[in-house]
Amino acid sequence: MAVPLQAKCTPSPITNNIPTNHHPSILRVTCLITTTTTSHPNSVKLVVVNPPLSSDPTLQSTWTHRFWVATGCTTVLVSFAKSIIGGFASHLWLEPALAGFSGYMLADLGSGVYHWAVDNYGDESTPLVGTHVEDSQDHHKSPWTITRRQFANNLHFLARTTTLTVLPLDLAFSDHVVHGFVSAFAFCVLFCPQFHAWAHGTKSKLPPLAVVLQDTGLLVSRTQHMNHHRKPYNNNYCVVSGAWNKVLDGSKVFEALEMVLYFKLGVRPRSWTEPHSE
């Protein structure tokens, strides 16, 4: 039997967990849906949060963002070219290939360690990484926002870091094995926010290549990363390939580090104070 529904919706601005200056266009629409059958009176409260409008300036790319992404990509390409040219000159391909694989694996491990650190320690006033600490908390509150960020907006911070790190290495070294490692590591670090955004994407809306890379395990899968987004957000921290997640979570490395920091410094990680998902 069809059950008629009555819906009463009240839009109101979100003020409790997302700063309105960051997301001025977000409205929370609370709908109270009530069935009208007398035999099974039932009441369901739905909370629907509208996605931010694409016009939100905090999610859009600026020319400064694009500049850093362009310079970051250029320095990585120069490093990769030095590795390839050195391979042709020396006919040695195994060493730079292994160095590149090491860079790819180390970038995944680094992404997990950094993600664990900013998720659990510090606040917005922490030197150098305060913005990332704040961003990680915002990301847990509204994970879909990363899919609305424009490309350069999402990548510019790590692109700037990549530029300032890889440019001196491009100028100082010509060893093709070194550049095999540097180019792979820097590429994964620079594009890490994009891999993370794809992990939040809807399969049907992702580029086919991204889906293939996720399904083959070369990039972190959507399922694996969704497990991170369950309170208390204390697992699956790696967001490049996710290859290290099983190792790190299985061996409880982060839990051991948290205990050491607590007993040595008296600092509690944020994951200890988060309620668990039901």
Residues near Zn ion (CB under 5 A):
119, 233
68/233 with CB nearer Zn ion: 233
Residue 245 beta carbon to Zn ion: minimum distance, rounded to whole angstroms: 12
Helix, strand, or coil (residue 113): helix
Residue 277 beta carbon to Zn ion: minimum distance, rounded to whole angstroms: 14
Residue 225 beta carbon to Zn ion: minimum distance, rounded to whole angstroms: 6
Residue 137 beta carbon to Zn ion: minimum distance, rounded to whole angstroms: 9
158/178 with CB nearer Zn ion: 158
Q: At what angle do helices 208-215 and 176-199 cross, to 10 degrees?
A: 100
Residue 209 beta carbon to Zn ion: minimum distance, rounded to whole angstroms: 20
* SS3 per-residue string spanning 181-230: HHHHHHHHHHHHHHHHHHHCCCHHHCCHHHHHHHHCCCCCCHHHHHHHCC
For residue 229, give Cα distances in angstroms to 28, 80, 219, 232, 276. Answer: 20, 34, 17, 8, 11
List the 5-13 sheet strands across, edge first.
5-13, 27-35, 43-49
119/170 with CB nearer Zn ion: 119
Task: Identify whether the C-beta of residue 241 lies closer than 8 Å to the C-beta of residue 192.
Answer: no
CA atoms within 13 A of residue 260's CA, in its CB half-sphere: 6
Helix, strand, or coil (residue 27): strand
191/233 with CB nearer Zn ion: 233
* SS3 per-residue string spanning 4-23: CEEEEEEEEECCCCCCCCCC
With CB atoms as reference, the residue minimizing the distance to Zn ion is 119
114/181 with CB nearer Zn ion: 114
49/78 with CB nearer Zn ion: 49
Residue 140 beta carbon to Zn ion: minimum distance, rounded to whole angstroms: 6
Residue 143 beta carbon to Zn ion: minimum distance, rounded to whole angstroms: 5
Task: Identify whether the C-beta of residue 154 lies closer than 8 Å to the C-beta of residue 68.
Answer: no
178/188 with CB nearer Zn ion: 188
Q: How many residues does the chain have?
A: 278
